[in-house]
Chain A
Amino acid sequence: MTYAWLIPVLPLLGFLVNLLVGKKVGKGFVTAVAVGSVTLSFILAVRLFLAMKGADGHRLDLAYFTWMQTGALTVPFGFTVDPLSGTMMLVITGIGLLIHLYSVGYMHEEEGYYRYFAYLNLFVFFMLTLVLGDSLVLMFVGWEGVGLCSYLLIGYYFETDYAPDAGLKAFLTNRVGDLGVAIGMMALFAAFGTLTVSGILTQAGHLAPEVGFGFLTFATLMLFVGATGKSAQLPLYLWLPDAMAGPTPVSALIHAATMVTSGIYLICRLAPVFQLTPTTLTVVAWVGGLTALFAATIGLFQRDIKKVLAYSTVSQLGFMFLGLGATGFAAGFFHVFTHAWFKALLFLGAGSVIHALHHQQDLFKMGGLKSKTPVTFWTMLIATFAIMGLPPFSGFFSKDEILYLAYLKSPLLWVIGVVAACCTSFYMWRLMALTFWGEPRDHHAYDHAHESPKTMTVPLMVLAVGSALFGFWGVPEAFGGHFAIGEWLKPALTFGQLHGEHGHHAGPAIALAATSTVLGVIFGLFGWFKYKDGLAWEEGFIAKFPAVHRVLLNKYYVDEAVELTILGPLRWFGNVCWKLFDVILIDGVGVNLPAALTKVAGDFVALFQTGRVRNYVFTMGLGVAALLYMLLK
């Protein structure tokens, strides 16, 4: 296992090489370095995965060195490979590799080709650090690192006005979440005296679940705040739709398949601790469920193909949290796994469409592409089946498991989940119908449309196979399976302890699954019928319910509300602080700086007369007075 450290380090080397020499050497070299490093990393990851599978207790602890050590704090630097991190590692390197390949075709005309691949490699490095890290500190390093790469890649098209701002928004929103992670980390350290994952989990096994709101509940809630930032849940989801300003393969890898699921990963990693805090789990379930519904309704009438998928991602992430909150950690992670395949496929398919139409992202200007881009069409069709939950495609099993657990938690959550799933079916079929069926609405673009090159379509096909088949890894008992993925993840999720996880009763399971599936199909068909011939139905809808449409199209005006209530006041406060101290007190008494400077040139007397130093002293005096007051009171 001595090679394990190479798995993250190879992409890091790829990043360094491409950053330093990428601009001077040709695109061929850049491609070789970037794709080559991820390929090697993937091969090694498979080897490591198999080694872990053969190991005792499905677990490898690779300790490298002691990172920090003083007094109470010891932080080792090492990796943990177990079913949870191992599976995630394969997803990252595997889907990462496919997306690198796809990008070769998608980005081939770009001037910043080397920059793009350098950042993409860096992302793979940080994501692997996050997943494999054996301490919360190392995980946090990865956690922040992926945020940074996300920021750099969202802002990739910096010539546009909105991309850099979108990047900044993503980064800053995530900082708010990271604050939660940092506080949660400190709290866990205070509670357990260690920051290694295994140390925390071992001790957590000896504790009884916490009733009401205790210290652990606080810690886990803070971690969940971090998860809502990274995984775009209410109320910190705002950045993800804007993040679509980045190149489409980035949306597929970072903002659909991997990075945005790290919030779920974090909770799964610490599952035994979350098991102890039912209050937090209830919050997680409700936030997840409401996000799933909220985002799905916004997705109904978006015009930008990537925006639809973005809200769909937010909504699907909500499903995952719903699963976690219903103590179905395995179910939540199962959905992470299946979602990684079909959502990456949807994004890459959308990218292929955008590529074919020369950067057209407006659904209203597409149409009739079925025959022009057959591979894209068929693969996206499979992904659509998967996301709407049509058996036996992968999404069916994972979503069904989540909805079933949600029902056991609270029937109302099940209803919310089913409504969200119906919306999902509808907007997906609206997207498909507007893209591939009907008459082309922009003839010029349509005439020049062509299927994408092999380097793009092959990844699509591979992902389509995954989207179709990987659900069989978790066939629930109700359907004659034994939820293999749950068994597989068990050692990682329970860490040797055996409380939690529901026993399965087949009772309502089949009835529930049938209801949600049938409803999903009905709404899907409805979407397809209404849109396959064009925009008439939507225009009619707008005419009838203009207010509903406007609210949904404008995402419930949340962005505007945030600007008004948070950002505006913050800017104002910054301005006031600056003005108060710099302008009023320093430039004081109506003398502005340049004028004052001219006046005081070499004339010290004049300097005193501006009264500025007096004002400084006045402030200091105030400070002293305030401190004295504190003493006396």
Chain B
Amino acid sequence: MNGFASGLMEALLRDSAFILPQLFLAGLGTLMLWPGDLLFHKGEKHKWAPVTGAILIVVLALVFRTPEGTGFSGMYRVDGLTKGFQILSILGALGAVALSQRLLNALKEQTVEYYALILFSLSGMLFLCGAVDFVSFYFSLELMAICIYILVAYLRKQERGVEAGLKYFLLGAFSSGLLLYGISLLFAATGGKTTNFAEMGQLLPVVSQSNTLLVGAGVLMVLVGLGFKVAAVPFHMWSPDAYEGAPTPITAFMATAPKAASLAAFIRVFQTALPGVADQWMLPLGYVAAASMILGNVAAIKQQSMKRLLAYSSIAHVGYMLLGVMCGPEGAQATWLYMATYLVMNFGAFAIVIHLQGTGEGERIEDFRGLKDRHPFLAFAMMVFLLSLAGIPPLVGFFGKFYLFQMAVTQGHITLVTIAFLTSVVSAFYYLGVVNQMYFKDAPALAEGAEPEATGMATTVIVTVACVLVLLGTGFAKPLLEWAGGIGSEKKASQVALR
């Protein structure tokens, strides 16, 4: 007995090296709530933003240093895929924290819980990126999601935020139910033997031959659950509402960090656990991807609110990234690259929306009228971000699309790539609409003597960095691809090891 306990202890200590970033996040997050909360007085809560930022930077460094390998009885794995998407999630959180300070100050809504929740949620994402077992996968997913439900409803005095949070929660619970149901079906299909992705990957193709419906239904339910998390059509309904209702930094956060983690999970589930039954999910996933591209881009045309526009645009971008999920191991790096470029341009755009919101100019598209006169730099940067989102070369958005589409063509997804191309043409329609407002429409008259408010430090830094990256990122295509190549090849290595 004693031997078992010490053996367990030893294994835990050994494996904890893999999850050091998560331990760090969860530990400091807890300490922040108490006694950390006593550190700053009521009026000084905004100082939590730089503290959280510092924690995130340390976590980023820890992720780079984490050893690669599998631990916790094959439940958690660190490899190129894990690290690649973990980095994106952390960057997403970092951006959200940087943008939060000013806005929350203006609303007098600074509390330590806000920042702690971001940390907890992030730890869930980091787990999710490395989850290689349906049990750890599900726990990570819920840890991530539950914190976000609260964050969406964080501005509790604003009705639409509370409503959005509740809606998101209810629908999330529903989708979790479906996901769990799907997992249990797959578990049953293995004869109750395993929930491990790799082992399932070997068992399922065999079972599938005799019991197609059981496996197929399980696969579909998992697809629905994951589709909900990344807001793919037709499981996207929550996202425009949640995006609009949430505090805008949280909107930016939701559009990037959890999406990156969920995509990592998407890739793992479909490429490790379910590649053998690809004929069961390839077609449905293709339909989901196509529907996301079409509906996301078309519905965005009519939007009046910038946040809703970006929500629909995000749905569309998810559609493109699902195309990468369908492309096997090489698709993983294309997806990662796309997500990385999307993260940069998305944060740039949100930083500007948040700035305008903070100065009371609001978030409606018509509030962008004549921005070039009030904030020449912001207008220029916004144009760069929007054009990049539309995939215009030589901006990074084009590079991400080009690489992803090219990958999909070599894998034979011609119809989907054609739809992707067509819808990206449509997307230019609404992105350019905003540019038109900024550059070719007159600004509403400022009050007498009023000066446009200067941009804060965080906004300036984020917008500048993002703008430079979007403009010049394509120039670094080669080193980026080499780095991202690690994501695909690690994946291959892991598959080889399993055989």
Binary contact readout B246-284 vs A (1 if CB under 8 angstroms, 0 otherwise) = 000000000000000000000000000000000010011
B160–chain A nearest beta-carbon distance, Å:
6
Could you tell me the distance between the alpha carbons of A577 and B237 in the complex, rounded to whole angstroms?
12
User: A145 and B178 in contact (CB under 8 A), knowing A578-B303, A604-B166?
Assistant: no
Binds A, one of B43-51, B90-98, B414-422: B414-422
B295 CB contacts on chain A under 8 angstroms:
577, 581
User: A631 and B171 in contact (CB under 8 A), knowing A140-B393, A574-B301?
Assistant: no
- A565 beta carbon closer than 8 Å to chain B: no
- Is the Cβ of A620 less than 8 Å from the Cβ of B171? yes
Could you tell me the distance between the alpha carbons of A26 and B280 in the complex, rounded to whole angstroms?
67
User: A171 and B432 in contact (CB under 8 A), knowing A183-B421, A600-B163?
Assistant: yes
B240 CB contacts on chain A under 8 angstroms:
582
Within residues 139 to 191 of chain B, which ones have a CB less than 8 A from any CB in chain A?
A: 159-160, 162-163, 166-167, 170-171, 174-175, 178
Spell out A's residues near B (CB within 8 Å).
19, 23, 65-73, 75, 137, 140-141, 143-145, 148, 151-152, 155, 158-159, 163-164, 167-168, 171-172, 175-176, 178-179, 182-183, 186, 189-190, 570-571, 573-575, 577-578, 581-582, 585-586, 597-598, 600-602, 604, 607, 612-613, 616-617, 619-620, 622-624, 626-628, 630-632
Binary contact readout B423-438 vs A (1 if CB under 8 angstroms, 0 otherwise) = 0011011001100100
Binds A, one of B34-42, B317-325, B399-407, B462-470: B399-407
Could you tell me the distance between the alpha carbons of A577 and B224 in the complex, rounded to whole angstroms?
21
B301–chain A nearest beta-carbon distance, Å:
4
Of the candidates B167, B299, B301, B410, the one whose C-beta lies within 8 Å of that of A190 is B410
- Is the Cβ of A69 less than 8 Å from the Cβ of B421? no
A238–chain B nearest beta-carbon distance, Å:
16
Could you tell me the distance between the alpha carbons of A5 and B392 in the complex, rounded to whole angstroms?
23
- Is the Cβ of A616 less than 8 Å from the Cβ of B167? yes
When C-beta atoms are compared, the residue in chain A nearest to B370 turns out to be A158
* With A137-B393, A158-B439 already in contact, 13 other A-B pairs whose C-beta atoms are closer than 8 Å: A67-B474, A75-B477, A167-B436, A175-B425, A179-B425, A190-B409, A600-B159, A600-B163, A612-B167, A613-B170, A620-B234, A627-B223, A631-B280
Of the candidates B174, B410, B417, B418, the one whose C-beta lies within 8 Å of that of A72 is B410
Of the candidates B399, B409, B422, B440, the one whose C-beta lies within 8 Å of that of A179 is B422
- B130 beta carbon closer than 8 Å to chain A: no
- Is the Cβ of B224 less than 8 Å from the Cβ of A620? yes
- Is the Cβ of A186 less than 8 Å from the Cβ of B175? no
- Is the Cβ of A155 less than 8 Å from the Cβ of B237? no
User: A627 and B409 in contact (CB under 8 A), knowing A172-B429, A581-B295, A620-B224?
Assistant: no
What are 5 A-B pairs with beta-carbon distances under 8 A?
A68-B477, A141-B474, A586-B237, A607-B167, A616-B238
- Is the Cβ of A578 less than 8 Å from the Cβ of B302? yes
A75 CB contacts on chain B under 8 angstroms:
477
- B216 beta carbon closer than 8 Å to chain A: yes
B432 CB contacts on chain A under 8 angstroms:
151, 168, 171-172
- Top-10 shortest CB links A-B: A164-B440, A623-B234, A158-B440, A574-B301, A141-B393, A578-B302, A616-B237, A141-B394, A68-B477, A631-B216
- Is the Cβ of B174 less than 8 Å from the Cβ of A617? yes
User: A607 and B284 in contact (CB under 8 A), knowing A164-B436, A577-B295, A586-B237?
Assistant: no
- B485 beta carbon closer than 8 Å to chain A: yes
- Is the Cβ of A68 less than 8 Å from the Cβ of B235? no
- B217 beta carbon closer than 8 Å to chain A: yes
- B478 beta carbon closer than 8 Å to chain A: yes
When C-beta atoms are compared, the residue in chain A nearest to B241 turns out to be A586
- B298 beta carbon closer than 8 Å to chain A: yes
Of the candidates B428, B477, B478, the one whose C-beta lies within 8 Å of that of A171 is B428
A582 CB contacts on chain B under 8 angstroms:
240, 299
User: A159 and B442 in contact (CB under 8 A), knowing A168-B436, A619-B234?
Assistant: yes
- Is the Cβ of A182 less than 8 Å from the Cβ of B421? yes
- Is the Cβ of A624 less than 8 Å from the Cβ of B403? no
B406 CB contacts on chain A under 8 angstroms:
73, 186, 189
Could you tell me the distance between the alpha carbons of A186 and B413 in the complex, rounded to whole angstroms?
12
A155 CB contacts on chain B under 8 angstroms:
436, 439-440
A598 CB contacts on chain B under 8 angstroms:
159
- Is the Cβ of A623 less than 8 Å from the Cβ of B224? yes
Within residues 289 to 306 of chain B, which ones have a CB less than 8 A from any CB in chain A?
A: 295, 298-299, 301-303
- B398 beta carbon closer than 8 Å to chain A: yes
- B441 beta carbon closer than 8 Å to chain A: yes
B474 CB contacts on chain A under 8 angstroms:
67, 141
- B481 beta carbon closer than 8 Å to chain A: yes
User: A620 and B228 in contact (CB under 8 A), knowing A69-B478, A586-B241, A630-B284?
Assistant: yes
Spell out B's residues near A (CB within 8 Å).
159-160, 162-163, 166-167, 170-171, 174-175, 178, 213, 216-217, 220-221, 223-224, 228, 233-235, 237-238, 240-241, 280, 283-284, 287-288, 295, 298-299, 301-303, 330, 333, 376, 380, 387, 392-394, 398-399, 402-403, 405-406, 409-410, 417-418, 421-422, 425-426, 428-429, 432-433, 436, 439-442, 474-475, 477-478, 481-482, 485
A620 CB contacts on chain B under 8 angstroms:
171, 174-175, 224, 228, 234-235, 237
Could you tell me the distance between the alpha carbons of A69 and B483 in the complex, rounded to whole angstroms?
11
User: A597 and B167 in contact (CB under 8 A), knowing A175-B428, A620-B174?
Assistant: no
- Is the Cβ of A573 less than 8 Å from the Cβ of B298? yes
Could you tell me the distance between the alpha carbons of A630 and B422 in the complex, rounded to whole angstroms?
25
B181–chain A nearest beta-carbon distance, Å:
10
Of the candidates B220, B224, B237, B301, the one whose C-beta lies within 8 Å of that of A581 is B237
B376 CB contacts on chain A under 8 angstroms:
23
B353–chain A nearest beta-carbon distance, Å:
20
A156–chain B nearest beta-carbon distance, Å:
9
Could you tell me the distance between the alpha carbons of A69 and B481 in the complex, rounded to whole angstroms?
7
- Is the Cβ of A630 less than 8 Å from the Cβ of B485? no
A488–chain B nearest beta-carbon distance, Å:
31
Could you tell me the distance between the alpha carbons of A489 and B131 in the complex, rounded to whole angstroms?
60
A573 CB contacts on chain B under 8 angstroms:
298
B428–chain A nearest beta-carbon distance, Å:
5
Could you tell me the distance between the alpha carbons of A254 and B375 in the complex, rounded to whole angstroms?
29
User: A167 and B234 in contact (CB under 8 A), knowing A578-B299, A613-B171, A630-B284?
Assistant: no
Could you tell me the distance between the alpha carbons of A309 and B167 in the complex, rounded to whole angstroms?
59
- Is the Cβ of B234 less than 8 Å from the Cβ of A628? no
When C-beta atoms are compared, the residue in chain B nearest to A598 turns out to be B159
Could you tell me the distance between the alpha carbons of A630 and B234 in the complex, rounded to whole angstroms?
15
B138–chain A nearest beta-carbon distance, Å:
18
B301 CB contacts on chain A under 8 angstroms:
571, 574, 578
B223 CB contacts on chain A under 8 angstroms:
627
Give the most central of A23, A69, A577: most B CB within 10 Å.
A577
- Is the Cβ of B441 less than 8 Å from the Cβ of A164? yes
B159 CB contacts on chain A under 8 angstroms:
597-598, 600-602
A623 CB contacts on chain B under 8 angstroms:
224, 233-235
User: A630 and B287 in contact (CB under 8 A), knowing A69-B481, A141-B393?
Assistant: yes
A622 CB contacts on chain B under 8 angstroms:
234
- Is the Cβ of A627 less than 8 Å from the Cβ of B422? no
Could you tell me the distance between the alpha carbons of A141 and B418 in the complex, rounded to whole angstroms?
20
B149–chain A nearest beta-carbon distance, Å:
13
Of the candidates A574, A597, A631, the one whose C-beta lies within 8 Å of that of B299 is A574
When C-beta atoms are compared, the residue in chain B nearest to A578 turns out to be B302
User: A628 and B299 in contact (CB under 8 A), knowing A66-B478, A167-B440, A622-B234?
Assistant: no
A626 CB contacts on chain B under 8 angstroms:
234, 287
B421 CB contacts on chain A under 8 angstroms:
179, 182-183
- Is the Cβ of A627 less than 8 Å from the Cβ of B163? no
Could you tell me the distance between the alpha carbons of A335 and B311 in the complex, rounded to whole angstroms?
49
When C-beta atoms are compared, the residue in chain B nearest to A182 turns out to be B421
- Is the Cβ of B478 less than 8 Å from the Cβ of A67? yes
B21–chain A nearest beta-carbon distance, Å:
28
B433 CB contacts on chain A under 8 angstroms:
168
Could you tell me the distance between the alpha carbons of A583 and B393 in the complex, rounded to whole angstroms?
35
Could you tell me the distance between the alpha carbons of A600 and B426 in the complex, rounded to whole angstroms?
36
A585 CB contacts on chain B under 8 angstroms:
237
When C-beta atoms are compared, the residue in chain A nearest to B405 turns out to be A186
